[in-house]
Amino acid sequence: MNLVRRQFLHLAAGAAALPVLSRIANAQTYPSRPVRLIVGFPAGGSASDIVARLMGQWLSERLGQQFVVENRPGAATNIATEAVVRAPSDGYTLLFVTATNALNASLYDNLTFNFIRDIAPVAGTIRVPFVMLVNPAVPAKTLPEFIAYAKANPGKLNMASTGNGSGPHVYGELFKAMAGVNMVHVPYRSNPFPDLLSGQVQVFFISIPPALELIRSGKLRALAVTTATRQEVLPDTPTVGEFVSGYEASAWQGIGAPKNTPAEIIDKLNKEINAGLADPKMKAQLVNAGGTVLALSPSDFGKLIAEETERWGKVIRAANIKVD
């Protein structure tokens, strides 16, 4: 009986170890075929698409299989996210995650997925600083002067955005609440820059790269950057937080996978992505795309996503922001 029992326990232990050994073997051979990296924005132009393609190229070279960027725009990235949520948890379908995913959790009531529950964080890529722009006709050359002017003229300044619930909108709403000013929100489906340049709208919160030449030429005035620290490309431009204590807002990007993707595969991807973020050539390309590197462990990236989802959810509910 003792011999039979020992044989049974030995076989049971071996059977229990098989899934672990299988996962380790899969991670060691991963990837053995092309990997899809799904982006919720159109191809070309956007920082998300640029960074996704840079990371795809890097991972292809490092891991010996093609990481193919697949653009699935629509529904404010929700179409792309749902496609990844429904994909097999084998590491061969990845999502290019952005701050929009955190905003969507509060903006949309009827999503078929829970982003934090259904997408496993893999790695961060970049953080994207924004800048507060005004038309030069606004009689304020500094942020304190602007706040004073806005308070003296409530409801007379128009604040552009790229749509209800977009980053430029919620970052502007946070500024309005913390600075105690009243500006009229004007959402655009297209580029707000023509109306900002003509003075039909006076204020716009936007990522730095598309605004740089307009700032340097004097066509638009940069009052402040939205990040916690000043930015190298605009060294003389203060942060909003220097005058509005506690204000900070920036977009961020990274990579996620379907829930239950093996930890060994996630860790392998995280290691290679962070190696790319540390590479001087890659780092320079990411800076040119408008960001600063955001090298994080999977758990730290998950913590960032959860914190940002909660933080901007409060802003969205307080400002009663509704999507179109």
Query: Which residue's entry shows tokens 């507060």?
Result: 132
Per the CB < 8 A criterion, the answer to whether 99 and 165 are in contact is no
CB-CB contact of 77 with 105 (8 Å)? no
According to the model, what pLDDT value does residue 236 have? 94
For residue 221, report the phi and psi dihedrals to the nearest 5 degrees: -110, 130
Q: What is the pLDDT of residues 214-225, one digit of tens each?
A: 999 999 999 999
pLDDT tens digits for 145-161?
999 999 999 999 999 99
- Phi, psi (rounded to 5 degrees) for 86: -85, -5
Using 50, 70 and 90 to split pLDDT, how confident is the model at 190? confident
CA atoms within 13 A on the CB side of 286: 31
Q: Work out how many domains the chain is built from and give that number.
A: 2
Q: For residue 146, count other CB atoms closer than 10 A to its CB.
A: 24
Whether residues 222 and 259 share a domain: the answer is: no
pLDDT exceeds 60 at position 19 = no
Structural domain for 227, as ranges: 129-242
Give the pLDDT mean for 296-307. Answer: 98
Kindly state whether residues 175 and 92 are assigned to the same domain: no
Give a yes or no: residue 6 inside a domain: no
In this prediction, residue 232 carries a pLDDT of 87
DSSP states along 126-159: EEEEEEEEE-TTSS-SSHHHHHHHHHHSTT-SEE
CATH label of the domain that carries residue 61: 3.40.190.150
Residues forming beta bridges with residue 294, ordered by sequence position: none
Residues 123 and 169 in one domain: no
pLDDT tens, residue by residue, 199-214: 999 999 999 988 999 9
